[in-house]
Amino acid sequence: MTNERKQPKRPKRPKNLLLDPDAVARGERYSRRHGTNLSRLVGDFLRSLPLGADESTLTPAVRRLWGITRGGDAGRETYRQHLDKKYGGR
């Protein structure tokens, strides 16, 4: 009998991750200002994403980004109404 332990399966890592160069530059500036690195910044963000999630459990930053992925186009008037409601009108 061997003394082998079963290792949990790790997800396959992508060989390449394509990112917008401007977004990468912005992330690098942000990470320098906050004493971290881009890999940790991206990793922390990805770990914060919910799996099968109830939107109410999302952090505010993730909630804002999550709305972008829905592809909704609210339009200028809807956005104006949102701002009026948020900031109390004119």
**pLDDT score recorded for residue 63:** 67
C-beta atoms surrounding 45 within 10 Å: 14
Lowest mean pLDDT among 1-10, 25-34, 76-85: 1-10
Nearest residue to 64 (alpha-carbon basis) of 26, 72, 77: 72
**pLDDT score recorded for residue 78:** 75
Q: Is the pLDDT of residue 29 over 80?
A: yes
The model's pLDDT over 44-60, given as tens digits with 9 standing for 90+, comes to: 888 877 776 565 666 77
* DSSP structure class, residue 59: -
pTM: 0.43
Please enumerate in sequence order all residues whose Cβ is within 8 A of that of 52, keeping only pairs 6 or more positions apart, or say none: none
Q: Is the pLDDT of residue 27 over 80?
A: yes
